[in-house]
Chains A and B, each alone.
Chain A
Amino acid sequence: MKFDLQKWINEGRLKSPWVVHFNCGSCNGCDIEILDCLTPVHDVERFGIINVGNPKQADVLLVSGTVNHRNKTALKNIYDQMQHPKAVIAIGSCGLSGGIFYDAYNVVGGVDKVIPVDVYVPGCPPKPEQIIDAVLVALGKLKASLEKSDEAPGQETAPAAGEQPAA
């Protein structure tokens, strides 16, 4: 039987997604709920989800909060440093659209104004259960894009980003 290295790597990726979290102008409400997912009551490690500090090692990017004129470059940098395939989850009303701060002078808007977003989690702040669910939904998307890259090897496997508005 032929040993398929790529299949083996893909399985590992889907079994244990590593997430990196970036606080992007959030009020901390969402961040403490994300951290809460790691703690014994919710315990995301049972799904193999591990929080890492280095974007280069991560498969999933969790972004909480609104994007402002200062941190949009930091956010873009972190996204660019991640390896393909990757998924982005925007957390909280702020990450979706700017939330309650939508018309404040330093707010650009939701996360999708700067980088493509795969999963949106509404709530202010969303519950830890919702965040865990979002990571699992994002895994489904990763799986789809991995399978696509298997059929057409050598192609870029980024999720369809759509047209990005000028920041």
Chain B
Amino acid sequence: MTRSIIPFGPQHPVLPEPLHLKLTVEDETVVEAIPALGYVHRGLEGLAQRRDYHQMIYVVERVCGICSCIHAMCYCNAIEKLMGLEVPRRAKYLRVIWSELHRVHSHLLWLGLFADAFGFESLFMNLWKIRERVMDINEATAGNRVIVSTNIIGGVRRDISEDWLKQILKDITEIEQQLKPMFDVMTNDYTIKKRTVGKGVLSKELCHQLGAAGPTLRGSGWAQDVRQLKYEAFDELDFEPVVEYDGDCYSRNKVRFRETFQSLEIVRQAINRIPSGELAVKPKGNPDGEIAFRVEQPRGELFYYVKCNGGKNPERVRIRTPTFANIPPLLAMLPGAQLADVPVLALSIDPCISCTER
């Protein structure tokens, strides 16, 4: 049988991002996949030496526009730990609300793209229509739709008024109602099952060995969620990691959909329990020392290592993002797959290339 090499990306109709895979195929079956990275590399970590530690918040927010709030939250937490700042409770709750709203919109975005990957256009349209409500909440409470820029060192920049908290409660209830029928379609539709069940199976052991993170890991039966570490206000909120056991595209899909409901529930809890009080404390002096901090991003574990030397600029900021951890599992599931399934498999890890390459 003759082998041929087919490039997948960097400009591809299904993926909005420049993911580039060199696929070696035999007839229609993929035998090998080699990723080529670097199309989005900007050298963002290098900017740390040229920006002071406040300005760096805006840089890390732009690592990835989809989960910008969570990047900033992780970085701020690291610096706050270094400086020994105690963030007010209300600020912590507000951070949880914004970051969980980001998770909802990120998951809805992914679910829509996933539906589009196997040609289910109307589902894509419907999910994105619902997502628009979340963007409206972002815009109304933070002033921007995508990059909200609400985190500062020591707390948050803006408050959400009582009226708006009530409005958000109303909105998320409606979002939940609109999402329920979509969940039925996503999990029961014959065509979707045909395209996802048993595709790209990752066993529990393999997933662990390859160091997968986030929904990819939880889709294979590991109950691991960094939010269990109780950072921010998660110590007062109840939730359980969402786990599915089959390790195929269908499971990962289901994990993400169930997490969307879970995040909406966390927002509801946070709004019901939010205390009143200060929004931020003022940082004094410059941070000194080194620290690592982890948070849960929509795609998995996000890790920041920050080293400061008492000067204005951080000395080193190292970012390890979940997609980087999820690329080895993707390469493990591609050999043996049909060429037509490659977009579905590639999307099933929820690749965020701008995170990976920074």
Contacts and interface: CB of A to CB of B under 8 A. Distances in A.
Interface string B8-29: 0011111011100000000000
A74 B11 contact: yes
Given A28-B65, A40-B128, A103-B47, A22 B146 contact: no
Contact of A101 (B14, B47, B352): B47
A103 B47 CA distance: 8
B255 interface: no
B65 A29 contact: yes
Contacts of A95: none
Nearest to B10: A74
B197 interface: no
A40 B354 contact: no
A77 to B, nearest CB: 9
Interface string A116-130: 000000001101000
B302 to A, nearest CB: 15
A86 interface: no
Nearest to A106: B43
B129 A40 contact: yes
Interface residues of B, number: 40
Interface in A68-90: 68, 70-71, 74, 78
B16 A35 contact: yes
Interface string B318-358: 00000000000000000000000000000000001010000
B68 interface: yes
A52 interface: yes
Contacts of B11: 20, 22, 53, 55, 74, 78
A100 interface: yes
A55 B147 CA distance: 29
Interface of B: 10-14, 16-18, 38-44, 46-47, 50, 58-59, 62-66, 68, 109, 124-126, 128-129, 131-132, 135, 145-147, 352, 354
Interface of A: 20-36, 39-41, 52-55, 65-66, 68, 70-71, 74, 78, 99-101, 103-107, 124-125, 127
